């Protein structure tokens, strides 16, 4: 619940919008109930007047009916516009807030969330939180307010009528949703698990379809998928049954309210406590009033999802950054002379040391290669130099000062990196490259792409440098993406170039040529080079080779 | 960095709507049952209104006491209970209808993917397909369980109500008759214009969501280029732009439901007022007036429900688009491919059991066979020519390495060999039999395949080794693992051979996965092994073991491998150098070093790696 309150506080700038939307929703609901109730009263009263030959003021009720009809219609339209406007404003707020919270956490803290599934869960969670207003707040607040109004109105007629209405509204709006939620909890969880299981079976089946076919196991796996699919259907059926019961029960409550109203009110009519037209009015009023609780089962269901999503998002956003920035950073020196003195690093305080007692000088202009198998701490060293992480022991010096004296951002301005896992954004090739240097000219772009042996490929694309990459455009192979990333790193005016397995995914010939070009580029620009590789070849040109194990 | 959505024209193609309609047949009678129950409930509602009108009429105009009307009230109570039961039953029927469709479509899609095979199933496709097969299929539920029944009830229930209203009060019936068609008409008029924009909006929402994910995934990259902080503004800006453009669409889109609400509500008001005045003037009986007033909202209710089911339709169309695309992809024309040469004219698809040497039942057959590839060409649908007039003999029992730059046609060649692709011209002979005359599943009995990144499936280690031979005993599995140098690490796993493997082999190293895949090939014991050598980052010890396993597997078998490493190339019996879809040179390592300039170049490049 604290998470929910915190979420609401986050939306504070938009409380006005939110309140306006709820208000409109509330008025719309009242107009509808009023329309039905007044109509019932009106025609009964008119009929009685007609039979008695008496006169009556029919202008007011007729006008009321028309007013209610117009308020309902216009109110519904306004309500939908305002609640959507509010939702979109909150959505923007939430995304920016979340982004600003996790930006300092990248990459160290976010590394544990690298897998695509976790990321899409974050996305789904954010989407769930976006729905909190429309699906949870509006219905609950409106239902509560409306119930209050209904009960007060009925109290004017008879306390028993009010009690009947209140109890049935509570049954329909609170008890039934709560009960269904409880009863469906297990099946709901099972079906989520089965769906996840189905998904994971499908992942491996689709990726390994060739093997399934060659090894003749495709039919067995098809049967397995079908069986999981059926299990899922069976679990969903349990939920659907409950849902059917809930729906039936909700309708029954509304009808029972009307029925009870008749049973209680008919004697009141007979003893002249209430006027006959009010009988028709009360019956229709009771029936229509249940519109207030109709959206509550869904709201109840989304409450659980929302709380879980909020918990996950907040726990992620509340993590502490791995590196603390200095209050008064030193200016980054002209030359990036790094010195490592007995540097050690471990991810967990009790975990294995990834780096241990590393001592090394890496002055400006040097070409350093680090060779070692996976897990030997090569990439960790990069993180330390980039100030994404801090050594857990020993000293890392830049220009003779501990690296903690420099601001990470200022330092990274002078370092260009091709990480092992490159990321190209879902935009044009040009935009992807310009990330490294906003004001780069076309000639500069082409020069670095030439160096990375990707220029020819780009010009062959229909859109050239304006070609989109990623989901909306051309999909690049691993090797092509790598070369674009290399070009991007080369474009950055940096003093140190870090290449993490730059030739992975390239065929040997291209790899050799790209390395030759990179070395020429580095020499031309007086850059330092840190090459991280698990291959022991092409290291002749390096000044130092460090073997990590 | 600005990541604007790329505009993409979009229209819901008629074939998608046709397909969605066609899939209704999978639901059997459930869909009809759901509609029938809904209709029954609608009819009972009319009875309910009649009883209610009677009760109120009796109390107000006949001075009836509670006891007098109690029989009718009991009847009403029974109707309420019955209708609650029907609501439950219709939900059940609708659910069953949707489930049948979901199960059938998922099975169809899966089967189709099998037929299309792994050459079609590239990496990015498998991501899309995964969503289609899981979430996409689920998105069909609302369409069949809600939208379709609502559609039918929209036509039936108001019609039934209209009949009863007409019998009691022609004026109200006229109001209904005039206003009811206006509702769908206005919805269509307003909806037509907005549907397209609405759908674009949906796509844009998905893209905006994708953009956000893209930014989060690329956060490290942004940070490396010091662009991560300014990106917060881009996120805000894009969200804001999206809000403005969406709201401008919604202002119009909501008009259609505005029109619907307006006509429904105003019509009810008009009916109420008209009845009121006629009652006042004594032109009408209260009983009938009240009855009609009770029916009026129910007349418009199904029409109004339509509007709320709209999203279900949109979601289903979105999901069905991918499904139709997959289901309509033509299969590789196998094995009824028109014969290229003359002599296999007489081969009928039924005579798939081969003449020698493949006639023996798959595994038991010891005979080796050669493969003759003559003049095959292959062009991908995107007009990329992968192979042109390639000819190659694969000798029984040899180890043949295929080398070449990326794009030289290596992968295409092995896909053709495994029957995942069919050449546009030329033919592949297995022994003397054209590959086109052999049913793929028979042919694949003679194959084992080790892809670059072997796939492990959820299940135990033993299950994974048994992939090609589900009935193999544990002893056989152990023997295969032994031969593949996998036994040593498997027995150290927590439950040994019964250890469950997580998604994509979590917890196992690349080399261990390779060795499990090798054990698979040993257990299958197929005469022809096709291997795409791993380029992944294996540790040295693992790489040596995998290498040794492969060499052992090659003994007594024909091995065709795409080679990436110098060592494996050197030990091959023959090396084929592919260049732009043709064979540039064939020979042993020593021969090629002499004769092939291309091979020399490659060696220079491979060279440092030795």
Distance from CA of A464 to the nearest CA of B (A): 16
Mean pLDDT score, B580-593: 91
What mean pLDDT is predicted for residues A430-457? 93
Interchain CB distance below 8 Å, B457 and A201: yes
Residue B308 above 80 pLDDT?
no
B545: in domain: no
User: Averaging pLDDT over each range in A20-24, A308-312, A464-468, B592-596, which range is the top one?
Assistant: A20-24
How many secondary structure helices (H) and strands (E) does chain A include? 18, 9
* pLDDT single digits (tens) B67-89: 999 999 999 999 999 999 999 99
Cβ contacts of A43 on chain B, cutoff 8 Å: 272, 275-276, 279, 286, 289-290, 293
CB within 8 Å: B2 and A427: yes
Contact residues, chain B, for A423 at CB < 8 Å: 217-218, 220-221
* One domain, residues B216 and B320: no
Task: Considering only residues A475 and B264, tell me which one the structure prediction assigns the higher pLDDT.
Answer: B264
* pLDDT confidence tier of residue A536, bands split at 50, 70 and 90: low
Say whether both B35 and B158 belong to one domain.
yes
CA distance A168 to A172: 6
pLDDT value at position B349? Answer: 38
A385 near A530, Cβ under 8 Å? yes
A:310-369 residues touching chain B, CB 8 A cutoff = none
Least CA distance to A478: which residue of chain B?
Answer: B123
C-alpha R_g of chain A: 34
pLDDT score of B345: 37
Question: Same structural domain for residues B143 and B182?
Answer: no
For the ranges A355-359, A505-509, B457-461, B577-581, the lowest mean pLDDT is seen at A505-509
Q: Note whether B223 contacts A434, CB cutoff 8 Å.
A: no
> Quick one: B51 and B159 in the same domain?
yes
B102 contacts on A by Cβ (under 8 Å):
229, 233
Alpha-carbon distance of B413 to B378, in angstroms, equals 9
Residue A350: partners with Cβ closer than 8 Å, 6 or more residues away:
none
Strand order in the sheet with A393-398: A353-362, A338-346, A393-398, A401-402
Distance CA A361, CA A336 (A): 11
**Rounded to whole angstroms, how far apart are CA atoms A3 and A11?**
13
Is the same domain home to B153 and B30? yes
> Mean pLDDT, to the nearest integer, of B103-114?
92
Q: Which is more confidently placed, B245 or B464?
A: B464
* Residue B502: band (very low, low, confident or very high) from pLDDT cuts 50, 70, 90: low
The verdict on a CB contact (< 8 Å) between A266 and B91 is no
Domain ends where: B283, B299, B318? B283
Q: Look at residue B191 in the predicted model and tell me its pLDDT.
A: 62
Segment 51-70 of chain B within 8 Å of chain A by CB: 52, 55-56, 59-61, 63-66, 69
Express each pLDDT in B144-176 by its tens digit.
998 899 888 888 999 999 999 999 899 999 999
Please tell me which of A134-148, A455-469, B328-342 the model is most confident about, judged by mean pLDDT. A134-148
pLDDT band at B512 (very low <50, low <70, confident <90, very high): confident
CA distance A164 to A156: 14
Beta strands in A349-447 (DSSP E): 353-362, 367-371, 393-398, 401-402, 415-418
Q: How confident is the model at residue B257 (pLDDT cuts 50, 70, 90)?
A: confident
> To probe the interface with B, which of A41, A47, A102, A123 has the most B CB atoms within 10 Å?
A47
Instruction: Tell me the ipTM for this assembly.
Output: 0.81
Q: Which among B300, B331, B362 is the end of a domain?
A: B331
Of A141-145, A429-433, B229-233, B428-432, minimum mean pLDDT range: B229-233
CB pairs under 8 A between A and B: 430
Contact (CB<8Å) A423/B218: yes
| Same-domain pairing of B50 and B94 | yes
DSSP letter assigned to residue B330:
P
Backbone angles phi and psi of B206, in degrees to 5 = -60, -40
Residues B32 and B144 in one domain: yes
Domain end, chosen from B299, B331, B363, is at: B331
Q: Find, among A329, A398, A403, A396, the residue nearest to A363 by Cα.
A: A398
Q: Determine, yes or no, domain membership for B534.
A: no
Q: Is A473 part of the contact surface with chain B (CB cutoff 8 Å)?
A: yes
Q: Is B317 domain-assigned?
A: yes
Report helix, strand or coil for A411. helix
Does B236 lie in the same domain as B130?
Answer: no
Q: Which of residues 228-267 of A touch B (CB under 8 A)?
A: 229-230, 233, 236-237, 240-241, 243-245, 247-249, 251-252, 255-256, 258-259, 262-263, 266-267
Is residue B483 included in any domain, yes or no? no
| Tokens linked to A152 | 């007060």
Q: Is this prediction's pTM over 0.90?
A: no
- For residue range A271-286, list pLDDT tens digits in order: 999 999 999 999 999 9
Residue showing tokens 């509670």: B66
**CATH homologous superfamily of A338-547:** P-loop containing nucleotide triphosphate hydrolases (3.40.50.300)
| C-beta atoms of A80 and B254 within 8 A | yes
Domains of chain A: which residue ranges?
2-317, 338-547
Residue B181 shares a structural domain with residue B248: yes
Q: Answer yes or no: do B57 and B177 share one domain.
A: no
In sequence order, what are the beta bridge partners of B449? B530
Residue B557 is assigned to a structural domain of this protein: no
In this complex, the residue of A216, A244, A431 whose CB is nearest that of residue B445 is A216
Q: How far is CA A274 from CA A51, A270, B173, in A?
A: 19, 8, 33
Higher-confidence position of A258 and B213: A258
Q: Which residues from chain A sit within 8 angstroms of residue B446, using beta carbons?
A: none
Span B555-578, average pLDDT: 87
Measured CA to CA in angstroms, residue A156 lies from A150, A162, B8, B311, B530 at distances of 10, 9, 60, 42, 87
Q: Do the Cβ atoms of A425 and B255 come within 8 Å?
A: no
Q: Is residue B482 part of a domain?
A: no
The answer to whether the CB atoms of A206 and B242 lie below 8 A apart is no
The pLDDT tens digits for A172-185 are 999 998 998 888 88
Cβ–Cβ below 8 Å for A208 and B454: yes
Q: What CA–CA distance (Å, rounded) separates A314 from A320?
A: 12
User: Would you call B91 and A211 a contact, using CB atoms and an 8 Å cutoff?
Assistant: no
Q: Which domain holds residue B161?
A: 9-166+309-331
Q: What is the mean pLDDT of residues A94-98?
A: 87
User: How close is the nearest chain B Cα to the Cα of A357, in Å?
Assistant: 23
- In this structure, are residues B508 and B478 in contact, taking their beta carbons and an 8 Å threshold? no
B72 part of contact set with chain A, CB < 8 Å: no
The pLDDT tens digits for A55-81 are: 888 889 989 998 999 999 999 999 999
Which residues of B, range 223-282, sit inside 8 Å of A by Cβ? 223-229, 231-232, 235-236, 239-240, 242-243, 246-247, 250-251, 254-255, 257-258, 261-262, 265-266, 268-269, 272-273, 275-277, 279-282
Q: Is B54 part of a structural domain of the chain?
A: yes
pLDDT score for B336? 36
Asked whether residue B180 falls in the same domain as residue B152, the answer is: no
| Residue B74 shares a structural domain with residue B187 | no
Number of domains in chain B: 2
Chain B residues 570-589 with a CB less than 8 Å from chain A: none
* pLDDT for res B295: 93
CB–CB of A212 and B235 under 8 A? no
The distance of B95 to chain A (nearest Cα, Å) reads 7
Architecture of domain A2-317: Up-down Bundle (1.20)
pLDDT of residue B361: 41
How many residues are given for chain B? Answer: 610
Beta strands in A386-429 (DSSP E): 393-398, 401-402, 415-418
Taking only residues 341 to 370 of chain B, the set having a beta carbon closer than 8 angstroms to any beta carbon of chain A reads: none
Question: B101 in a domain, yes or no?
Answer: yes
CB contact under 8 A, A47 and B279: yes
Nearest CA to CA, how far is B572 from chain A (Å)?
19
């Amino acid at each position: 619940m604290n998470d929910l309150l915190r979420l609401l506080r986050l939306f504070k700038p938009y409380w006005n919008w939110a309140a306006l939307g709820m208000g409109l929703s509330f008025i719309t609901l009242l107009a509808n109930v009023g329309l039905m109730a007044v109509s019932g009263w009106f025609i009964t009263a008119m009929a009685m007047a007609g039979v008695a030959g008496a006169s009556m003021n029919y202008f007011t009720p007729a006008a009321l009916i028309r007013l209610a009809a117009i308020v309902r219609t216009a109110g519904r339209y306004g309500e939908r516009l305002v609640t959507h406007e509010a939702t979109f404003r909150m959505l923007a707020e939430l995304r920016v807030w979340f982004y600003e919270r996790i930006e300092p956490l990248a990459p160290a803290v976010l590394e544990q969330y690298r897998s695509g599934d976790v990321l899409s869960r974050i996305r789904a969670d954010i989407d769930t939180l976006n729905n909190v207003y429309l699906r949870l707040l509006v219905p609950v607040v409106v239902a509560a307010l409306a119930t209050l109004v209904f009960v007060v109105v009925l109290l004017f007629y008879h306390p028993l009528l009010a009690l009947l209405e209140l109890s049935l509204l509570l049954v329909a709006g609170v008890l039934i949703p709560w009960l269904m939620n409880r009863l469906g909890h297990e099946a709901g969880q099972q079906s989520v698990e089965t769906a996840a299981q189905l998904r994971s079976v499908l992942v491996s089946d689709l990726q390994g379809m060739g093997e399934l076919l060659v090894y003749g196991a495709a039919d067995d796996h098809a049967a397995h998928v079908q069986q999981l699919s059926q299990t899922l259907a069976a679990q969903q059926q349990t939920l659907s049954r409950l849902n059917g019961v809930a729906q039936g029960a909700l309708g029954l409550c509304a009808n029972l309210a009307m029925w009870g109203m008749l049973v209680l009110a008919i004697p009141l009519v007979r003893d002249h406590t209430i006027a006959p037209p009010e009988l028709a009015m009360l019956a229709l009023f009771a029936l229509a009033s249940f519109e207030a609780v109709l959206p509550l089962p869904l709201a109840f269901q989304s409450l659980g999802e929302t709380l879980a999503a909020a918990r996950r998002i907040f726990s992620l956003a509340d993590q502490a950054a791995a590196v603390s920035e200095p209050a008064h950073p030193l200016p980054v020196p002209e030359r990036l002379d790094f010195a490592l003195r007995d540097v050690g690093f471990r991810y967990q305080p009790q975990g294995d040391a990834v780096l241990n007692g590393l001592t090394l000088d890496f002055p400006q202009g040097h070409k350093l290669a680090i060779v070692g198998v996976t897990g030997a701490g090569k990439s960790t060293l990069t993180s330390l130099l980039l100030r994404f992480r801090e050594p857990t022991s020993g000293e890392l010096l830049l220009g003779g000062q501990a690296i903690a004296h420099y601001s990470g951002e200022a330092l990274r301005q002078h370092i260009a990196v091709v990480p092992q896992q490159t990321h190209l954004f879902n935009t044009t090739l040009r935009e992807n490259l310009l990330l490294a240097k906003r004001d780069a000219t076309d000639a500069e772009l082409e020069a670095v792409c030439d160096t990375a042996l990707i220029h020819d490929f780009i010009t062959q694309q229909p859109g050239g440098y304006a070609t989109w990459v990623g989901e909306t455009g051309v999909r690049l192979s691993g090797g092509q993406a790598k070369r674009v990333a290399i070009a991007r790193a080369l474009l950055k005016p940096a003093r140190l170039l870090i290449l993490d397995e730059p030739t992975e995914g390239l065929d040997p010939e291209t790899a050799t040529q790209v390395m030759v070009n990179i070395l020429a580029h580095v020499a031309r620009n007086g850059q330092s080079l840190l090459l991280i590789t698990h291959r022991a070849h092409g290291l002749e040109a390096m000044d130092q080779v460090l073997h990590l194990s | 960095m600005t990541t604007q959505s790329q505009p993409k024209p979009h229209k819901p193609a008629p074939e998608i709507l046709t397909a969605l309609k066609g899939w209704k047949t999978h639901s059997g009678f459930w869909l009809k049952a759901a509609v029938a129950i809904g209709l029954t409930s609608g009819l009972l509602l009319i009875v309910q209104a009649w009883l209610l009108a009677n009760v109120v009429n009796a109390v107000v105009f006949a001075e009836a006491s509670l006891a007098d009307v109690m029989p009718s009230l009991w009847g009403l109570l029974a109707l309420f209970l019955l209708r609650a039961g029907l609501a439950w039953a219709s939900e059940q029927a609708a659910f069953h209808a949707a489930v049948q469709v979901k199960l059938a479509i998922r099975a169809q899609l899966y089967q189709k993917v099998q037929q299309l095979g792994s050459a079609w199933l590239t990496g990015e496709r498998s991501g899309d397909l995964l969503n289609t097969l899981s979430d996409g299929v689920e998105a069909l539920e609302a369409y069949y369980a809600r939208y379709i029944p609502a559609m039918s009830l929209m036509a039936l229930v108001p019609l039934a109500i209209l009949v009863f209203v007409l019998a009691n009060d022609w004026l109200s019936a006229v109001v209904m008759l005039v206003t009811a068609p206006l509702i769908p008409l206005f919805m269509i008029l307003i909806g037509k214009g907005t549907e397209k924009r609405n759908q674009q909006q949906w796509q844009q929402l998905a893209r905006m969501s994708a953009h956000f994910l893209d930014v989060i995934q690329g956060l490290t990259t942004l940070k490396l280029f010091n662009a991560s902080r300014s990106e917060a503004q881009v996120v805000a800006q894009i969200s804001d732009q999206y809000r403005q453009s969406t709201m401008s669409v919604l202002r119009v889109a909501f008009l259609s439901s505005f029109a619907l609400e307006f006509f429904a509500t105003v019509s009810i008001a008009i009916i109420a007022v008209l009845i009121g005045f006629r009652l006042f003037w004594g032109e009408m009986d209260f009983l009938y007036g009240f009855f009609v007033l009770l029916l009026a909202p129910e007349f418009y209710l199904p029409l109004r429900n339509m509007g709320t089911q709209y999203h279900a339709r949109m979601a289903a169309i979105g999901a069905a688009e991918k499904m139709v695309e997959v289901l309509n992809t033509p299969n590789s024309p196998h094995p009824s491919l028109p014969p290229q040469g003359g002599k296999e004219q007489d081969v009928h698809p039924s005579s798939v059991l081969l003449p020698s040497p493949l006639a023996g039942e798959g595994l038991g057959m010891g005979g080796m066979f050669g493969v003759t590839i003559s003049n095959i060409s292959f062009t991908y649908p995107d007009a990329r020519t992968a192979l042109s007039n390639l000819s190659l003999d694969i000798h029984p029992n040899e180890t043949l390495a295929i080398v070449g730059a990326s794009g030289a046609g290596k992968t295409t060649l092995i896909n053709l060999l495994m029957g995942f692709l069919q050449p546009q011209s030329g033919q592949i002979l297995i022994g003397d039999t054209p590959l086109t005359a052999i049913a793929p599943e028979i042919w694949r009995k003679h194959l084992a395949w080790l892809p670059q990144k072997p796939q492990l499936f959820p299940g135990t280690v033993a299950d994974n080794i048994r992939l090609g031979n589900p009935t193999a005993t544990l002893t056989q599995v152990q023997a295969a693992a032994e031969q593949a140098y996998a036994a040593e690490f498997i027995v150290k796993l927590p439950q040994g051979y019964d250890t469950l493997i997580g998604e994509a082999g979590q917890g196992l190293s690349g080399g261990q996965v390779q060795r499990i895949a090798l054990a698979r090939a040993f257990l299958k014991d197929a005469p022809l092994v096709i291997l795409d050598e791993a380029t992944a980052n294996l540790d040295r010890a693992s790489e040596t073991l995998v290498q040794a396993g492969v060499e052992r597997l090659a003994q007594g078998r024909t091995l065709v491998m795409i080679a990436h490493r110098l060592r494996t190339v050197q030990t091959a019996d023959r090396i084929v150098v592919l260049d732009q879809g043709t064979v540039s040179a064939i020979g042993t390592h020593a021969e090629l070093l002499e004769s092939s300039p291309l091979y020399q170049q490659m060696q220079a490049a491979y060279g440092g790696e030795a």
